[in-house]
Structure 1
């Protein structure tokens, strides 16, 4: 009992005539007759009773037709789904990104992707760079948007953008009118920083605040959004990457550090492209669209 025979049987029942089934399937009439005879022999039952040129389905044939129709429909759906997955129009993608690039740059990219491929089951998580890289290496995520992973994780890394660290200030703060901020300017202030595993906290400690001297009071806050709200409430200043979207007209501004000007590279980390589905590859390609354009060289 193969699928071709079941398809022939279904057509015979639906059309009520072997000849019409042969025409629809583009078979010779003798082929249809032979297939039905083999099916009846295989099952040990009579599926049709002839009535002149027409054929009438037996009770066993009606039951088989019901089951065969459902099976053929399921197989058709399976074929379509597999085809859609191969084209990137179905399947699943699971990835993670750090903040604030997740909300400031990726949100619209993800929204457009989901609109264009509504059948793809997408899961987007927001986490820290270290955790993202480890989960990509473990196969729990297809890819991640984060800082460069540790070399011992053996991940591929494609740089996207360079983020610079700045100081988030309430517009009423005395430093808000400065073009840039020095570390000495922060002396005596309350400084809001991310958790110790965050790349921005690491960058702050390595490049801006390497001595660790207690020149100011630090408060550890696990969310850039919360830092934003606390600065808005005039509780200190925040150490954040420079994004216009974090500023608020009349309330918040970001000023860069004067010297040094710490930079971190953010990109796409993945294990092996050959193991990724088409949908994941398409989403990665869409995310590459946020990459900073390279400056054009003057022509001679």
Structure 2
């Protein structure tokens, strides 16, 4: 069944006249007549009866008119949706990011993107670097914001920011008044760190080495927010990335470690760009804005 003939039939049935349908479709009247004849021959049924100058739709024609109208509307919607997806104005984007980058830097970027492109379905998850990289490799995520993925995953990685670990303390803590805080100063204090699979925990363990791990008593906490709350409540000190946003109500302070330089690069991990949709590429471009300098604590 020729889609153009079906469109011609719908116009004829709706307007009740072949000539009016020809004018609307900008066809020659003979073209309209030929298309209707071919459609009737293809279906083996008469779709119109002539009553003087009027064209009356038959019973079979009335049923086909309803179906054709619905089909043509659906096709129009499909065309528009495909066009919008190609332009990045529709479609879906699924990505994940590590904390605290997700809450401290990405939340505002994603909110702005969603307001500008309300028809794009954006799904943002928070996870660890290893999991993010593997899911990007498997195609479950369009891209991720994480530390550099292993070379074996064959992902593209674009560094955006360089994060440094610091020490989170209450401003009333004895160490908060020191000009310098060194790793050895943490001995005897309850030090709150993330779980072993977290890139920031890996960075901490690498920075202090086996000797430091023997001297400093660490307690594992699976959330930077919980670390923040525990420090504010007066229990221990936290090892966290240096974000001023983590300093709560002016009661906390994040200080650098004078004798250590624990630094990690965080950036965009993705498969090859041709595999990504326009909306995903547009959101990635917006995310690149976090690579600009931001005020840090310390």
TM-score, reference length from structure 2: 0.95
Alignment deviations for residues 172-227 of structure 1 (CA, whole Å, 9 cap, x no partner): 11112234421011110000000001111111111134424432321100100000
List alignment gaps of at least 5 residues for structure 2. 294-298
Residue in 2 that maps onto 1:72? 72
What are the within-5 Å matches in structure 2 for residues 215-294 of structure 1? 215-292=215-292
Residue in 2 that maps onto 1:177? 177
Residue in 1 that maps onto 2:92? 92
Q: Does the Cα contact within 8 Å between 2:164 and 2:241 map onto a contact in 1?
A: yes
Residue in 2 that maps onto 1:298? none
- Residue aligned with 1:214, SS: helix
Q: Does the Cα contact within 8 Å between 2:181 and 2:256 map onto a contact in 1?
A: yes
Q: How many residues are matched?
A: 293
Alignment deviations for residues 121-149 of structure 1 (CA, whole Å, 9 cap, x no partner): 21111011111111111211111100111
Residue in 1 that maps onto 2:41? 41
Q: Distance in 1 between matches of 2:286 and 2:180?
A: 34
Q: Does the Cα contact within 8 Å between 2:98 and 2:145 map onto a contact in 1?
A: yes
Q: Distance in 1 between matches of 2:155 and 2:44?
A: 59
Q: Distance in 1 between matches of 2:64 and 2:179?
A: 80
Greater than 3 Å deviation, 4+ residue runs: none
Residue in 1 that maps onto 2:186? 186
What are the within-5 Å matches in structure 2 for residues 47-58 of structure 1? 47-58=47-58
Q: Does the Cα contact within 8 Å between 2:192 and 2:238 map onto a contact in 1?
A: yes
Q: Does the Cα contact within 8 Å between 2:205 and 2:213 map onto a contact in 1?
A: no
- Residue aligned with 1:211, SS: helix
Residue 62 of structure 1: how far off its partner (Å):
0.4
Confirm or deny that 1:28 pairs with 2:28: yes
Q: Distance in 2 between matches of 1:118 and 1:250?
A: 36
- Residue aligned with 1:108, SS: helix
Alignment deviations for residues 220-253 of structure 1 (CA, whole Å, 9 cap, x no partner): 0010000000001111000000001000233211
Residue in 1 that maps onto 2:142? 142
Alignment deviations for residues 234-288 of structure 1 (CA, whole Å, 9 cap, x no partner): 1100000000100023321101111222111100001211111111111100000
Does the C-alpha gap of structure 1 residues 154 and 222 become closer, same or farther in structure 2, counting only changes over 3 Å? same
Q: Does the Cα contact within 8 Å between 2:168 and 2:237 map onto a contact in 1?
A: yes
Q: Distance in 1 between matches of 2:180 and 2:242?
A: 12
Residue in 2 that maps onto 1:296? none
Confirm or deny that 1:19 pairs with 2:19: yes
Does the C-alpha gap of structure 1 residues 173 and 98 become closer, same or farther in structure 2, counting only changes over 3 Å? same
Q: Does the Cα contact within 8 Å between 2:183 and 2:260 map onto a contact in 1?
A: no
Q: Does the Cα contact within 8 Å between 1:178 and 1:255 map onto a contact in 2?
A: no
Does the C-alpha gap of structure 1 residues 162 and 268 become closer, same or farther in structure 2, counting only changes over 3 Å? same
CA RMSD, Structure 1 to Structure 2 (Å): 1.2
Residue in 2 that maps onto 1:159? 159
